[in-house]
Every structure is written in C-alpha cells, then in structure tokens.
Amino acid sequence: MATSLDSLPDPNVPDGVCPRRARQQIDLILLAIEALDLGGSEAILWASRELELQDIIKNRVVAWRLRATNPMRRNSQRQPLSLIEAKALVMVICHLAEQLATVIRQLLLAYEQLTEKQLSLDHSPRLANYLERFRAHFRARMNPKRTTVMAYDDEKLNQLALSLLSQLLFYTGTAGTQRLWNSLFDGEVA
C-alpha cells in the first residue's frame, strides 16, 4: 500500500505536518461519513484494513487520536497530524465515499428536488435523518466554546452537511484521492 500513499505528493508545509484547515476538513468529512453510515467509526477501521493501512490506523484509539488533531474538537489533541497519517485518512475517506456513492447521490438528488419544489428538507425522511445525525455528531464532538463552533446554528450545520455530501461525491472515482489531497492544501502551500 506504500505505493498508493506515495502517489500523493508531499506538500511544502512547515515541519511536514498538516495545517489546521486540513485537519479540520479531514475530520468534518469523516463526520459526514459517520452520519451517512451508522457503523461509520467501525467502517473507518474496516477500510484501513482493506487498504492495508493498519500500520498507520491500528485501532479505534489511534483513529480517534488522529481525528482529535482537529482543533474544533472537544478533546482536541495538541499532537500534529503527520502527512503520512493524513494520507492514510484521505485514502480511507475516498474508499468509504466510493462505498457510499449511491446513497450520497440519492441524498443530493432528494435535496435538489426539494429545493426545486421549494419544500423543506424534512420532506425527505432519509435526508432529514442524515442532517439530524450530522448535527448531533457535530454538537457531541466539537467544543461549543470555540468561536468557529459557536457560529454553527442548525441552518449552517445543514449547509455544512450538504456541502460535505457534494464533496464526498466529488472524491469518488479514480482521481478522488488526488482531488481530496490537493483540496486540503489549496492556498496553504507557498
């Protein structure tokens, strides 16, 4: 699996660690996956084994520690997220996004149809369920005392959840890992 990790270029970032925005984005995308898939945290471990990344994402505790590098988290870790760890998480995200592509498309189609008909999002039980789970996960895991977290009311959380769905769909397919990886460092690299 080293070749797959090597296919993602090392950006020129200070100390070879992921910038704050990249850490936040990775964790938020994983949060969307968890809201889509009730076994999302278990799926992260399954995908790491499937992709032969268990040397990097060894168990639940390690997966939590990697995600807790997001400074928005309640129990944020001050440890940096290395580029190799970020690459592993990106590969897991894209692998899971491919597995969930049909569900993601259905939810985005439901959103599009509701918007065209000017109906509220709760007219699609499946979409409403995803949004409710996303909001619950976000509130349970993010630090409510952080200014960036305080800015998210229900409407903004719904917008974030829908935006993450669109991003996940964009990361499916053959160049998905490169698209996600490049987006994490867009504007961060000199």
Q: Give residue-wise pLDDT tens across range 23-66.
A: 999 999 999 999 998 777 788 999 999 999 999 999 989 999 99
Tell me, yes or no, whether 43 lies in a domain: yes
Helix (H, G, I), strand (E, B) or coil at 145: coil
Task: Give the residue carrying structure tokens 């440890």.
Answer: 79
What is the rounded distance in angstroms from the CA atom of residue 138 to the CA atom of residue 133?
8
Give the DSSP H/E element, type plus range, for residue 82.
none
Tell me, yes or no, whether 164 lies in a domain: yes
Tell me, yes or no, whether 144 lies in a domain: yes
pLDDT given for residue 40 in this prediction: 73
Tell me, yes or no, whether 6 lies in a domain: no
Residues of the chain short of pLDDT 50, as ranges, are 1-3, 189-190
Domain with 141, as residue range(s), is: 16-178
Residue 16 backbone class (left: φ over 0; alpha: ψ -120 to 50; beta: rest):
left
CB 72 within 8 A of CB 24: yes
Tell me, yes or no, whether 54 lies in a domain: yes
CB 7 within 8 A of CB 177: yes
Single pTM value for the model: 0.92
pLDDT given for residue 123 in this prediction: 93
pLDDT given for residue 190 in this prediction: 41
Tell me, yes or no, whether 2 lies in a domain: no
Domain count, the chain: 1
pLDDT given for residue 41 in this prediction: 77
pLDDT given for residue 188 in this prediction: 52
Angle, helices 40-50 vs 83-99, to 10°: value is 110
SS (H, E, C) 99-125: HCHHHHHHHHHHHHHHHHCCCCHHHCH
Tell me, yes or no, whether 183 lies in a domain: no
Tell me, yes or no, whether 59 lies in a domain: yes
What is the rounded distance in angstroms from the CA atom of residue 133 to the CA atom of residue 124?
14
Q: Which two tokens stand for residue 130?
A: 């995803």
pLDDT given for residue 1 in this prediction: 43
